[in-house]
Every structure is written in structure tokens, then in C-alpha cells.
Structure 1
Amino acid sequence: MTSTSAKYLHIDRVCKSFTNGSKVTDVLSDIRLTIDKGEFVSIIGHSGCGKSTLLNLIAGLTDVTTGALKLEGREVNAPGPERAVVFQNHSLLPWLTVYDNVKLAVNKVFSATKTRAERHDWILHNLDLVQMTHAADKRPGEISGGMRQRVGIARALSMEPKVLLLDEPFGALDALTRAHLQDAVMDIHARLGNTMIMITHDVDEAVLLADRIVMMTNGPAATIGEVLDVAIPRPRDRIALASHPDYVRAREAVLRFLYERHRFVEAAE
């Protein structure tokens, strides 16, 4: 997906290094990427290639070393509710109910702009988006891992973020639960049209969900090796796509990139 309009999320020649005493480690080098409003982008690469570091830069959880990262023309240099993150660990507060975990986020963002009744309705609306209204009064320990991730997504969406950042949110789940949540994310993206960026190790997940797949080279000093357009119409059905020629071609292209990069690392060792 490309755009000739103003750049929505623009990553311009970003580098990231970490310093430990006299040792400097270059994690990311010369990252250049523009993401359109409403686009779904998957970022994939081998472990240690800086995928999560890149997501943290977009989230404002860590600062860029050089370069610039801008959302709607404004520099990103701190966390903000317009960029919500869903981590692999759901990070729900175990002593609060599902409802109250989402309420925390809603009150933080909307206490000055929504009445108490409006905030209540908004909490239930976001729980309904992820089909978790029935568990509103339960605590995280009383529901499954997949349900906890649904609540984490609802909490993130409740802040009405401009960009939803997903850091391998289904990595710890079983295959069937993962598939259900992938379908839920596709449905939410279709309904809300929000911008989503997902880190994943799963090639099939990347192809199923994304409009574009950003493939990272191996670290240190990792950069973007290739960007693949996934030219598959939406809505997408995982069963129908299994033998779809465009799906097969996209999957092969990502596997080829990852395999060739892996071979390069092995040859260099």
C-alpha cells in the first residue's frame, strides 16, 4: 500500500545504539520506512534483529540515537496514548477485574472529556469488540491466556490510539487460540480502519494479516532488507488462502529472505 498524501508515520534514517560503559552496540542502522494511515504492517526477522527495539522506538519507550521518527509530522520522543502497545505478556493487573483493567486506561485518557456514564459505555464497547463483555467481572487469573490477550487488546483500543503496536501478542498461545485471535484482529482492523504494526516470527501470520511485510536483516546494526506488498484482497479467509497463488508467492518470498539471511549468518560463523 503506497500513498502520495502527507506521510502518516515516517521513520527517517533512524539508528539505535546502546552503550554499556565503553562498549557501544549498534542495534538498528538506517531504518527508512513510511506507513500509511490505516495500513497493517508486519515486521519479521530472526531473533536479535532489533524488531522489538524498532517497535519500542515507535512507541516512544526508547529514544532514537540518530535520525527522526514522526507521527503526523510530530516527532515521537516519549510514550503517548496515540500509540498503544500490546505485548506478548498481557500485563494486566491481577487484582483488578477485566472491566477495571480497561477502566484504568479509559480514565487516564478520557477523564476530562467523557462523563462517567460515557466512560462506562466506552469500556463495554471495547470489551465487546474483542468478545469479552461476558467476563467483565472476572479477574485475569480466572480466564484463559487467549482471553487475557483479548482484554489487553481491548485496553489498548480503548485509548483510541492512532497506531496500535503489537509485539508478538500471540507468541505464547496454542495454535487454535492464536488463529482465533488473528481472526479477531483482522475483524477489528476491518471495522476500525486503524493503523497496526505487528512484530512476529510467524511467516503465515505475517502474510495473513499484513498489507506489507517488512523483513529485517540480521543484527547487529540490522536494517530493512526487503519490503513485500501482500496483494491479497480483504476480507481474508485463512482456509481459502491456503492454496491462493498470491498467498503462496508471498509466503515463499518471506521464507526465501529469512532462509538466505540465516545461511549468511551460518557461513560467517
Structure 2
Amino acid sequence: MQKPILSLENIYVDFERDGVISHVLDNVSLSVHTGEFISIIGHSGCGKSTLLNVVAGLVPVTMGAALLENKEINGPGPERAVVFQNHSLLPWMTVYENVKLAVNKLYGHSESMKKVHERVMNNLDLVKMTHARDKRPGEISGGMKQRVGIARALSMEPKVLLLDEPFGALDALTRGHLQDTVMELHDRIKATVLMITHDVDEAVLLADRVVMMSNGPKATIGKIVDVTSPRPRVRRELYNDRSFMGCRQEIVSFLEEHDRVVKFEPVPV
């Protein structure tokens, strides 16, 4: 069997503030294989972003190990590119310049200007943004900004692409278009992706597996569902797909069950 590209092994994460320790993640283990798309879903405060930040190298583990290609993750690196809900584009730079900034950082010292230019344009083409290459972030829509953010991340040729609720601030129509774009990209370049989302339909639509987190504190993986609906997926056809609807219902049931736990948990007095 193929070895996983990413392994989270018995991860514990604690945060300390003013002498008080918060136990955020408790014994989280997950293996991700090359080309897999993993959605991570759960209620607010369940440690989804913390888990993603561990993989990004932005949060150290208290116990356990996060391994990429069998090497321990000890900090940020270009092999793990992150796209946040906030696009984080530099407003004084054009679309082209924002992507070129990442390309130059990695390849500017070893490749010709022509090759750098090709990398930038190829990645803008992947997200259908070549027409806006000379515009600045203030001149384009929120959805277009996220497309540029994805292009910038992909230009680094990461081994794992990390998406932290990348469509959460967008309207429903724009969100749907970007979901389709991400599906097309995944089918085309077979990227390994971890994505955080609060949207059940989005989680199932995009993923090969959906990881459901239990409520915090001491959050852990409560359940993992395999999404067996064949690719490429057509949104309007999936609601007649028994497998898709079965996955969707399983996730909704899990979230409803854990929502009740939160509501009726006794409060110490």
C-alpha cells in the first residue's frame, strides 16, 4: 500500500495564557495520501484551524508528531501553501505581481525571467484570471481575489495545499463558482488538499473523505466518512446520487448530535 504523504500521529495541542492551560486537540491521528482531497468540518471551537495550522507549521504540537513525507514539520515551508479566508493580497501590487512575488521567492534565483513569467501566467490561467493580470486587488471582486490567492499558492508547487475556509466570506453564487473551480483544479493537477469548511454540501462535494471533529475543548476526530461519488462531479446531478446524499446525512446527523452536547452541557456554578 502507498505510504501517506502526510501523517498526523497522536497530536495533542495545548495553549497557555496567564497561567491557564487550554487543551485544544486531544490525540488526533490522520493519514493523507497523495492526490487526496480531505474536508475537515465541525462546530466553531473544535480545533479545525489549529489542526490546519499544525500542518502549516504555524502551531507547534505539545505531544505527537506531524510528518510530511516522513519528515517532521517544525515550521512553515513552501511545500505547504495556505489559502486563508482573507485573500491576503498586497493592495499596491497587481494580480500578476502578487503571484510573481511567490514565484520569485522560490525560483527567481535559479530560473530565467522568461520561465518565471511562464509560471505566473500558467497559474493565473489555471484559475481563469489572465484577463485581470494588470488589475490591483481593489479593482476586482472578492471571488476573483480568492482565485488569485489560489493561483499564488499553486505557483509554489506545494506538496499539500491548505484551504482555511477560503469561500466563507463570499456570496452563495460566487462560492459555487469557486467550488467548481477547485474541483476542476483537483481533477486536473491531482493536488493533495486539506480544506476547512462549515458547509456540509461543500465538504461532500469537494472531498474524497470528510473528517468530522468533536467539540472542544480536547477536540479529536469523531468520525471519518468516505465520499465515493465518482469524479468528475456535476453539482446538479449529485442530489440524485444515493452515495452523496448518504454522506451528507451522516455528517448532518453527527453535527446535530454534537450541537446538542454543547447546548445541554451543565455549567459549573
TM-score bin (small chain): over 0.9
Please list, as runs of the form range in 1=range in 2, the aligned pairs for 1:251-266 lying within 5 A after superposition: 251-266=248-263
TM-score by length of 1: 0.98
* 1:162 lines up with 2:159 in the alignment: yes
- Residue 144 (structure 1) aligns with: 141
Q: How far 1:21 moved relative to its partner?
A: 2.3
CA distance, structure 2, for counterparts of residue 233 and residue 83 of structure 1: 27
Counterpart selection for 2:23 from 19, 26, 33: 26
Letter aligned with residue 181 of structure 2: A
Superimposed CA distance per residue, residues 31-86 of structure 1 (whole angstroms, 9 cap, x where no aligned partner): 00000010000000000001000000000011111100000011001000000000
CA distance, structure 2, for counterparts of residue 164 and residue 7 of structure 1: 15
CA distance, structure 2, for counterparts of residue 220 and residue 9 of structure 1: 25
- Residue 12 (structure 2) aligns with: 15
| Partner SS, residue 178 of structure 1 | helix
* 1:42 lines up with 2:39 in the alignment: yes
Counterpart selection for 1:188 from 178, 185, 189: 185
Letter aligned with residue 53 of structure 1: T
* 1:119 lines up with 2:116 in the alignment: yes
Q: How far 1:114 moved relative to its partner?
A: 1.7
Counterpart selection for 1:171 from 168, 172, 189: 168
Alignment RMSD: 0.7
| Partner SS, residue 82 of structure 2 | strand
Counterpart selection for 1:102 from 99, 106, 113: 99
CA distance, structure 1, for counterparts of residue 22 and residue 110 of structure 2: 44
CA distance, structure 1, for counterparts of residue 107 and residue 185 of structure 2: 21
Uncovered stretches (5+) of structure 1, i.e. residues with no partner: none
* 1:72 lines up with 2:69 in the alignment: yes
- Residue 52 (structure 1) aligns with: 49
- Residue 93 (structure 1) aligns with: 90
Superimposed CA distance per residue, residues 88-141 of structure 1 (whole angstroms, 9 cap, x where no aligned partner): 000000000000000100001112332111000110000000000000000000
Runs ≥4 residues deviating over 6 A: none
* 1:232 lines up with 2:229 in the alignment: yes
Letter aligned with residue 82 of structure 1: E
Identity percentage of aligned residues = 61
Superimposed CA distance per residue, residues 171-222 of structure 1 (whole angstroms, 9 cap, x where no aligned partner): 0000110000000000111111110010000000000000000000000010
| Partner SS, residue 219 of structure 2 | coil
CA distance, structure 1, for counterparts of residue 220 and residue 59 of structure 2: 18
| Partner SS, residue 256 of structure 2 | helix
Uncovered stretches (5+) of structure 2, i.e. residues with no partner: none
CA distance, structure 2, for counterparts of residue 162 and residue 13 of structure 1: 22
Q: How far 1:266 moved relative to its partner?
A: 1.6
| Partner SS, residue 250 of structure 2 | helix
Letter aligned with residue 240 of structure 1: E
Letter aligned with residue 115 of structure 2: E
| Partner SS, residue 158 of structure 2 | coil
Q: How far 1:153 moved relative to its partner?
A: 0.2
Please list, as runs of the form range in 1=range in 2, the aligned pairs for 1:234-253 lying within 5 A after superposition: 234-253=231-250
CA distance, structure 2, for counterparts of residue 47 and residue 116 of structure 1: 45
Letter aligned with residue 212 of structure 1: R
